[in-house]
Structure 1
Amino acid sequence: MKIKNVFIAGALLVSVLTFAQKDELKALKKIYNKSVPTASELADYKANLSKLESVAVEEADKVSLNYYKSVYPLLEVASIGAEPTAVQLQKIFSIKAISDLANGFNSTLEYEKKSGKKVFTDDIKTKVALIKPRLVNAAVDYGKQDKFNESSAILYSAYLMDKTDQENLYFAASYAVNGKNYTKALEYYYELKNLNYSGEKTLYYAVNKANGTEDYFGEDKNTRDNYVKVLSTHEKPRDEKVISRKGEIYKNIALILVEQGKIGEAKQAILDARKANPDDTSLLITEADFYLKEKDFASYTRIVNEALAKDPNNVQLVFNLGVISADSGKYDEAEKYYKRAMEIDPKYFDAYLNLSELKLRADKDFVDQMKKLGTSDADNKKFDVLRAKQIANYKDTLPYLEKGVELRPDNDAVKRTLLGVYQALEMTDKYKALKAKL
């Protein structure tokens, strides 16, 4: 009899808990579905979360609890009614709240996929579509404030909400590097590596006839072509290829490993990457850069020659070799690569820009040397020699800057640099004409 009574008492307790859970879940669901919940309803919501936390025993109830808890910030935003301000959003969506929301979405989707019962799945997909652009904007805003680790955390949460959008994971890694959080950056880069992410794509542009500005159509070629060929609202279509980011990813993995003192692992990471992607020339650049930083010039020369032999007319490859050489102080070699890039593609803007910048680096040396001179006859002669070299350097740089402005007339930075050169060379008419366009 005692055993039977205990069994009945236990069954009664389970029954009471079950009813309690159902009541709390109903209350949470009712407030969750409100378009504009009141402050009182938000308080009830939190109270029911607290009650459910103490009685939820079944996996389904625990999943629901976790989901309802994670989406509380969304209810806070909804309670504002009107469009919330940036300050309000930043206060509600702390980095932790965003992370909890992403984890709540993920765990719920995984459970519902496993159980075959879709309760929140469709709603989550709708919410992700609305929230993700806001998260990306918030990450960019934090980045502008040099709060790189915050940007990284938000973008990683955005990636967790939609793992098909791997670009958010890539930028989360990039921001983590900027924030010197190399542990997180390495974690994200390894995930990108395992996903075989490249980021290679083509972006589409066309000029709007109505206002003369170039509109961006993302990766949607059909829409762009429709505006140009069918609707005739746009003209001058332009395609922009985004090269593979694999080389950059593996390069950053190697650099972080070097930073951590793991030279052997860094070298092996690059070799493994090349074995897995033998036709990816960007990885040749990464290996060349690695050897250059390690001052293994023999290996660097071998890899560079291998890269050029494989694809001698690859303008991006040649340009990247110029960048590596310039960053390593090999200015003559960099100039050679930039000029070769111009030969391959006379409209390759970045080559003109970088070569101009490379040549103008010498200007600081001239100025520093002239400042140190006195007023003696000997110093005056040295000044004249340095001034002549400075003027010659300006004249040598001039055609590359002018070509840059011709190719990108909307690039104010290049125009301002060219203005400075015109002024130094006392080319008054050209200075005034260009100044009028700024």
Structure 2
Amino acid sequence: MKKIILSVAVLAFSFSFAQKKEVASAFKAIESGDLTTANAQISAAEASLGGKTYLLEPALLEQYYYTKGIALVKAGKTSEGAEVLAKISELGKEKIYTGKNAEKQKVYFVGKAAADASGVSGLKEETYVPTTTPKIGNEVNSIINKINDETMKAYNAKSYAQAGKGFLEIYNLLKAAGSDDKLYKYYSALAYAQGNVSDESSKLFSELINEGYTGVKTEYKAKNKKTGQVENLDKNSFELYKKMGAASDYTDFKTENTPSVEQELYETAASLYVDAKKYDEALSLIDKGLAKFPKSSKLSELKGTTYYKSGKMDQFLNNLKEQVAKDPNDKVSWYNLGVLSSKDPSKLAEAEGYFKKSLEIDPAYKEALQGIIFNIYISADDKAIEAIETARKAKKTELYNRLLSERRERFAKALPYAEKWYALEPKNIEVVSLLKGLYLTSHNDAKFQELKAVEAALNAAGK
């Protein structure tokens, strides 16, 4: 018998025909409520596809998503099902790019990104209108209400991770039913952030940014003539009642836009990336955010923090200088400039000026008081004492006296800052001991004895 050799084209046709038959059978089964058959047929189709859903024409792909999504939802796997069903709305929003691949198979790529990534040339652009959206609404309405109740209970109980999952399920189910209300996706991102599920939260915030979500929503309001209360109306009712004029039950019609949350999206997502030590992602997002919101002090501060935590000290220093140039009253940036500059012995005078600038803005800024005392005036006191002792032993009287005088001058400069710190924290043993030593060095015996007694009392109380 002559051996039969099937051509590539015939194999491709058979392969395609099998997929169509299995998906169509699965769709009919789910429509009739036969979950067992639907799942079996979808599993068979997936085994043939091997993940290559681009081989399914849009109508068939919609049936595949619908069948699989509904089956998952009915099996209690709401998150997975909602995510699959949500893909149906993308079929209607994205362009479909069709053509043939190197194996001569007909391909259907959803969206330009998928088409470009395929490497297939000569694709034609088409559109598709999903038909299962009303069916999805009928199937998931009761489920959405149930999930919403459970999600709100979880959120009020501060079970934020569970609430984040629930809000995302609601978003995907509504999207699948034809209502792409990103408010629930935003709620999910916030809940995950509150529950410290940083990876999921930052992913959702980044998606919202890339999707252009701002949170701005038009509210339609009017006063009810019978109750005198201002009520929120849907757009159609608002316009209808407004056209009715005096015959309407409402008056004082007005529209209002809710505030934009776009800047908050950038700030929160960047902060989450920093906390997760994803510094490259943080910097990329921060730069994008600052291009849109150049006056965001939060983003500028996060940029400096990212540079600092990632060890990019030169960039951190430059960022601080940019900060104080934009906001001369930013005491924290002046303080940070002082800390960084004081690490270079040749820049102590410059660092001293930065600390003083911070204290001009806030004389009670404890960190700046500590910074100027320890980083500038007494930072190298051990070396100073060593040099003084060396000069004494060598009987270099002139050098000894000069070094001793210089030390007293530094301590005299530190004294008013230490006194201010003590006034802020009179029971802090660290500042009490410091001040006692400064009074001793300055030969102020009365103050020395006073602080010595305070120190003893604090030590006794702490035992």
Query: Shorter chain as normaliser: what TM range?
Result: 0.3 to 0.5
TM-score (normalised: structure 2) = 0.46
Q: Which is higher, the Rg of structure 1 or of structure 2?
A: 2
